[in-house]
Amino acid sequence: MAASAIRILGLDPGLARMGWGVIDVNGTRLCHVAHGVLTSNAKSDLGARLFALHEALCVVIAGHRPAAIAAEQAFVAKDPSAALKLGHARAVALLAAAQAGLEIAEYAPNHVKKSVVGTGHAGKAQVLLMVRRLLPTAGVETADAADALACAIAHAHLAGTRAKILAALA
């Protein structure tokens, strides 16, 4: 990618599995850099699990040096306990980003799906399919990593829209 490319780290926070994906954006061109899933040991206590996620995410941030982080907001369904655990994982992700001095953007799951698939109520399989289309060299196989890449793509689309508006106003 050219020197004017912007690197974005997308995150799909979760306590058991935290998806991450890195893309470079140069104008309207998207380029896959890396992706993966961070996991925590379900047999460990909550503090140890959060620490493990934090440490692993800090390694990802240091290794890929993104300019911005885009994280999916919490989706609260019927299980308050699961929502609270998700909130802890999101807090760890936001803390790691803040410690690195990065711009943090948060997007509702429906916004991410609409940006990537075209409909806010797309299923995980549809998101995976569209991420594979938009980033054909990625070879993404897991829904967690695909959701994280989709979040980065949604941020890239929004950043591109902002740039066009600012250019039109100048």
**What single string gives the DSSP state of each residue in 123-153?**
-HHHHHHHHHHHSTTS----HHHHHHHHHHH
Task: Name the catalytic one among 24, 45, 103, 144.
Answer: 144
> Could you report the per-residue pLDDT of 121-157, keeping only the tens digit for each?
888 889 999 999 999 999 999 999 999 999 999 999 8
Tokens encoding 48: 């140890």
72 classed as catalytic: yes
Q: At 6, phi and psi to the nearest 5?
A: -110, 130
What is the model's pLDDT at position 77? 65
CA–CA separation, 119 and 102 (whole Å): 29
Other beta carbons within 10 angstroms of residue 7's beta carbon come to 17
Task: Name the catalytic one among 45, 72, 141, 147.
Answer: 72
CA–CA separation, 98 and 144 (whole Å): 22
12 classed as catalytic: yes
DSSP 74: P
What is the model's pLDDT at position 3? 57
This model's pTM is above 0.95: no
What is the model's pLDDT at position 8? 96
Weakly modelled stretches of the chain, pLDDT under 50: 1, 165
